[in-house]
Structure 1
Amino acid sequence: MNENRIDGFCAPGFEPVKKVFEANFSQRGEVGAAVAIAVRGEPVVDLWGGLADAQSSRPWERDTLVCMMSVAKGVIALLVHRLAGLGVIHLDEPITRCWPEFGAGGKAHITLRQVLAHVAGLPYADNLPRGSLYDWERVTTALAAQTPAFVPGAVRCYHSATMGFIAGEVLRRATGVPINELLQSELCGPMGVDFRIGLTLAEQSRCATMIPSPGNILDIARSRPDSLFGRMWYPIADDEDFNSRAWRSSLIPSANGHGTARGVARLYSTVASELAFGDPGPVEPGALRTGIAEQWAGREHSTGMFWRQGLGFFLNWPPTRPMGPNPATFGHSGAGGAQGFGDPDSGLGFCYAPNRMHSGIDIGPRATPLIEAAFDCLIRSS
């Protein structure tokens, strides 16, 4: 079997994307991956290839699901802004309006806006033992009791694990529906987007096997358990490799979103086209503009990296968070190299999703040339 077989299609004018995708396998150590591009919600690139499981030589298929890590944050942010646009939740109201227990420890005035902007001062929860990250009630109860690590609003500190739990519990309190069900009923289901938080056993059978690289987020956390980043991820199991049944089935909205590149690209293209062309979409345009407005630009406290932050989204920031030529492009990358975003000027949506994780905390050497090729093709075809 040809382990580097590439399947799928490229619309005329987008063939260079396939050449870059092929080069990822031949030159950059790709094992299995998918890349997809949509414009105004319509696919122009939908490619997948390599191995979903290297040990068994199981090939990557059209419907293979892959864990995209923090790409999930951007998808959850779209759900939040959809419900904000419908008036179900309010970003600037204290979270205690719907979650009274959250006010403990001096958090009575923290808002969902602060959480989405990573300035709420809640990057971790104390008193959570190893292995407790998979227990929704335990984590949200600990977050409700937690005293902020920083004065709310004062420090730009990535809520790496906690953003999804806090946002998800706010949505659950406001609607009565758990985050995984709400994501399907309000956003992904109606759009036909194959992206989920918390997989059934049947869905897990479609998963690519992740290949953590040295220097991944768990290595960093385990090597420095008393550091800020170590405290963020202390509750994860010691032996987690992002392939366990617990990881795949639990509700960890900041990090364990599984889906197809095709679905994420279509989702971002559709919402970006609302702003670019006035096309219909799932998020009220005013709410979407609020979500993608820059909240801050500068050094983030836990990593020391510079980036631009929206409300739940990264904003375009080359070279560590590249999303093409438009500074207004919004989306989210995931640990290991996954990337999903939308360009609100062209209506382009992009997603790249690999199973071999990049060792750094930027998006790595495989996504960037795909992004560059995508926009080169778009410009030439315009």
Structure 2
Amino acid sequence: MTRVNSERSAALPHGVQGAADSNFACTLNGFSQLFPGRRFGGGALAVYLHGEPVLDVWTGYTDRRGTQYWTENTGAMVFSVTKGLASTVIHRLADRGLIDYDTPVAEYWPEFGANGKAAITVRDVMRHRAGLSQLGGVSKAELLDHVAMEKRVAAAPVNRMLYGKPAYHALTYGWLMSGLARGVTGKGMRVLIREELAEPLNTDGLHLGRPPVEAPTRAAQILAPQGTIANPIFNFVAPRIAALTYSGGFGSMYFPGMKSVVQGDTPFLDSEIPAANGVATARAIAKMYGAIANGGRVDGTQFLSQERTALLTGKASYVPDRNIFVPLSFHLGYHALPFPPGFMPGFGHAGLAGSVGWADPASGMSFAFVHNRLLTPMLLDQAAFAGLGALIRKDAARARKRGYQTVADLGASYQMPRTVAG
């Protein structure tokens, strides 16, 4: 085992910081090659085995100029990996008997029952089968107002072409989860991710939106796209297409000004988008999924009950998603990769550009990979997590066979907030 110190560890590839069990040499080499220079940003990777950390490393740069090094407390905006965090909040509430998956959402959130949605259950929503994926022509200002978006999805009619079918709720999923949780607890998802995830896991590395100025976790800059050249034809046509009832995946993701919210100082981070704007470290995500992969227990803490975690593994489904056209086997907020069979066992949630949090209860392994690239010359980023997953599984199998050592508890622990807002 290598432990972090003030100098680069000789057991790690050049430029990589952190700590790793010696069985994970192939994983470390693969990870280090994803960040070959300053213009390729930075990232972090963490692995838990049977609820214990065995790899926690980071490398590269947090800023667009390549002047600020990635550190143990750098968080990335992880896009749809955030959905896995929001889903886990719901499971924590269900563990305490506050939510039942087969109960209609409207029983917890009465406003949701409008426009023919009274029978839609929590399970329907968490399987992306509620028929509420479309944004319906929402403006950027509306989208950045999370309370307004909760009210909007509560009042929306069901898309009958999509209801009951797998149709990825790219952005609305988060407000469905936060509206449900607010109906039960009276608190917003930004607060609940801190109270239900970060605090019991004793990590500062889980935030919804921009971390507070006093938090140790700092959000890395998104490298690209940063260009400001407008396409007037696209800008005229796109909102009209997105507003159509049957606009599919485009209508579930597009809103005017969507590029601008990830530019500059990333305005996207100043709202609550529980489907997309989580800021997290790889260590914190891997720890959360480490509990799910280990009967609910991680680092000596019973984070979820064993009975609850047993419910989170779904059956493989090869039915293509109506919005993104690939089968994802969504089950209670997490997805699998059922095709090709056996390629990436387990479940979790991937995000745009390839960040991921993943659990494999069959092997007791979890991992997370985060970075700050979105659209860069590294065009394979979207699938990089699958390649890393293969290396991790191979090294984890070797570790289980030969024996392994855990690594030091790196990064900042949970920090009590100065103020709380929902």
- With normalisation by structure 2, the TM-score equals 0.79
Matched ranges for 1:320-335 at <5 A: 324=344, 326=345, 329-335=346-352
Amino acid at match of 2:178: G
Aligned pair in 2 of structure 1 residues 162, 316: CA closer, same or farther (>3 Å)? Answer: same
Residue 115 (1) aligns with residue 125 (2) = yes
What is the aligned counterpart of 2:207 among 180, 196, 201? 196
Which residue of 2 is the match for residue 316 of structure 1?
337
Q: Within 2, Cα distance between the matches of 1:40 and 1:68? A: 24
1:38–1:348 Cα contact (<8 Å) kept: yes
Residue 9 (1) aligns with residue 50 (2) = no
Amino acid at match of 1:174: V
Which residue of 1 is the match for residue 158 of structure 2?
148
Matched ranges for 1:239-318 at <5 A: 239-241=260-262, 244=265, 246-274=267-295, 281-294=302-315, 296-318=317-339
2:206–2:280 Cα contact (<8 Å) kept: yes
Amino acid at match of 1:229: G
Q: Within 2, Cα distance between the matches of 1:205 and 1:88? A: 31
Instruction: Report Cα offsets for 1:274-297 as digits up to 9, x if no partner.
Output: 1699x8532223322323323843
Aligned pair in 2 of structure 1 residues 362, 114: CA closer, same or farther (>3 Å)? Answer: farther
Which residue of 2 is the match for residue 338 of structure 1?
355
Shift of 1:98: 1.9
Matched ranges for 1:41-80 at <5 A: 41-55=51-65, 57-80=67-90
Shift of 1:234: 3.8
Which residue of 1 is the match for residue 194 of structure 2?
184
Which residue of 2 is the match for residue 206 of structure 1?
218
Residue 372 (1) aligns with residue 372 (2) = no
Amino acid at match of 1:54: R
Aligned pair in 2 of structure 1 residues 298, 67: CA closer, same or farther (>3 Å)? Answer: same
Which residue of 2 is the match for residue 381 of structure 1?
399
Instruction: Report Cα offsets for 1:23-66 as digits up to 9, x if no partner.
Output: 22249x84211111111232111111111113252111110010
1:352–1:367 Cα contact (<8 Å) kept: yes
Shift of 1:148: 1.1
Matched ranges for 1:80-91 at <5 A: 80-91=90-101
Residue 354 (1) aligns with residue 371 (2) = yes
Q: Within 2, Cα distance between the matches of 1:232 and 1:270? A: 31
1:195–1:259 Cα contact (<8 Å) kept: yes
Give the secondary structure class of the aligned counterpart of 1:297. Answer: coil
Shift of 1:243: 5.7
Mind listing any 5+ residue stretches in structure 1 that lack a counterpart? none
Give the secondary structure class of the aligned counterpart of 1:14. Answer: helix
Q: Within 1, Cα distance between the matches of 2:61 and 2:382? A: 20
- For the aligned residue pairs, the C-alpha RMSD in angstroms reads 3.0
- With normalisation by structure 1, the TM-score equals 0.87
Moved more, 158-167 or 9-18: 9-18
Instruction: Report Cα offsets for 1:320-344 as digits up to 9, x if no partner.
Output: x9874x3xx1100000110111110
2:222–2:262 Cα contact (<8 Å) kept: yes
Give the secondary structure class of the aligned counterpart of 1:291. Answer: coil
Q: Within 1, Cα distance between the matches of 2:60 and 2:97? A: 44
Moved more, 170-179 or 245-254: 245-254
Q: Within 1, Cα distance between the matches of 2:256 and 2:184? A: 28
2:225–2:263 Cα contact (<8 Å) kept: no
1:274–1:280 Cα contact (<8 Å) kept: no
Q: Within 1, Cα distance between the matches of 2:159 and 2:328? A: 21
Q: Within 1, Cα distance between the matches of 2:89 and 2:342? A: 23
1:126–1:146 Cα contact (<8 Å) kept: no
Moved more, 33-42 or 120-129: 120-129
Aligned pair in 2 of structure 1 residues 345, 183: CA closer, same or farther (>3 Å)? Answer: same
Q: Within 2, Cα distance between the matches of 1:43 and 1:127? A: 44
Instruction: Report Cα offsets for 1:255-292 as digits up to 9, x if no partner.
Output: 11111001111111122111699x85322233223233
Q: Within 1, Cα distance between the matches of 2:44 and 2:325? A: 30
Shift of 1:72: 0.9
Aligned pair in 2 of structure 1 residues 288, 363: CA closer, same or farther (>3 Å)? Answer: farther
Give the secondary structure class of the aligned counterpart of 2:61. Answer: strand
Moved more, 288-297 or 183-192: 288-297
2:23–2:399 Cα contact (<8 Å) kept: yes
Give the secondary structure class of the aligned counterpart of 1:25. Answer: coil
- The number of aligned residues is 370
1:358–1:364 Cα contact (<8 Å) kept: no
1:242–1:248 Cα contact (<8 Å) kept: no
Instruction: Report Cα offsets for 1:179-205 as digits up to 9, x if no partner.
Output: 111121122212123111133441598
What percentage of aligned pairs have identical amino acids?
26
Aligned pair in 2 of structure 1 residues 356, 127: CA closer, same or farther (>3 Å)? Answer: closer
Which residue of 1 is the match for residue 174 of structure 2?
164
Aligned pair in 2 of structure 1 residues 232, 282: CA closer, same or farther (>3 Å)? Answer: same
2:16–2:58 Cα contact (<8 Å) kept: yes
Amino acid at match of 2:390: E
Moved more, 16-25 or 281-290: 281-290
